[in-house]
Structure 1
């Protein structure tokens, strides 16, 4: 990388607020080969070259040459970094810090609504943090002790489903975490008959799993 330092690192301080993931930008996977990266770049370069600005989707002006030029320059920067093994290694190791952190409120809403978790985790991504989980300590986020969309059991079942996903992303050997349960499970104290998915030891298994 020489005395000038990494190309990826040169723009770190100025681009953190608007950082674009280079793999996403080039439409390749994180384990893409150099040949795959090169082919994808060439394809995208033909589409986004400033001379073809009329092909670039833009919210206000499809012929915005400046936007096309910026897009093309970003594509070139991404290709220069990912096509160089040393630059790519540096980028991979600093990727989490280069990209803006997801908005905490958006993370909370995604979990509360049971939205699918993000795709493949980026290297060094810390995942859920205390600030995300603390939002669920507020009893006002649920409206009833039921399984409705705003109910206690739905919201906290979604939370523990996401926590299980997060844990298994960091575990060398995935764990089959027990469900938080539903309002009909016998260990919740509601429902006259045992749910077929709720054996008598359901509560014990749940707590033992998460407290271990």
Structure 2
């Protein structure tokens, strides 16, 4: 009959993160309790227990021995690495589940797709639990669920977890060298490095096995297929709406452009009237009223210009720059620009030149009138000086 191997931490009754002082106190208390001299009635049991307590404390009190024990604890408890026994890895062989023959249909019965793979992933997780840290051993992995499980609440979390699976097993049973037998520090480090390569390779192989199984199952999961079809339908509807919105905006832009062109032509047609009115206003302001204006005023009853109604001028049109603006704010910003100020200055100079020309013309007319009067006077004088005919 094989005796079950007890964990050294359990023998001393301390947690796995206990410090040296706590282990020493526990060891002294247990050694006093199980000392053979203190237990003559159960001498054999006390002797075995006392020897086990000593062995546990001897290993855990040495930092190097304790580190090695912590790394190989699970393998030792399973009967390997210490007694010359070959450790047997009892990990689930997942390759027999890479075929559709391992399940029958997609129902929720015992032979169905969801029942079979729910049991498979539960077994894989339970085999990893003993190798987890104490703080992680209470973690509950996402359940595979059944054919009616919600995709968002159950199916997605399950595949998110298992698609990035990493085994917690130490795989110390694949080590080739016992570092305790190393003759020196250099040899021990070399042996540890080689052992790490073997363990990492074994972990990588196991991780790839599980992830490939997850991909195999996900591809055949009817819940995933239904969700994918639902998302594709939503994508088609979204694409259709995008096209409709694009066409709608295109039509709106075309209508807006057509409306803008109509307004532009009408405003251009009115610019000529505005220019004529502007000329009249400027002429009135500078006292240069043309004959056509006078005739028009006479036809309208010789009403004074001051009594006429003021002609409305568009506040959003710049006469100096010959531009129209959408709002008074845009017009105000334009009036601050350098180009506008330059055009205003040019217009001002032109008006001043016209005023000067008008003044010169007026003086010339006065001089001509004076010359005509003088000529008439001279003719009169000459006429008076001539002798009267007999």
Shorter-chain TM band: 0.3 to 0.5
Q: Which has the larger radius of gyration?
A: 2
Higher helix share: 2
Q: Which has the higher contact order (CA 8 A, sep 6+)?
A: 1
Give the structure-2-normalised TM-score. Answer: 0.29
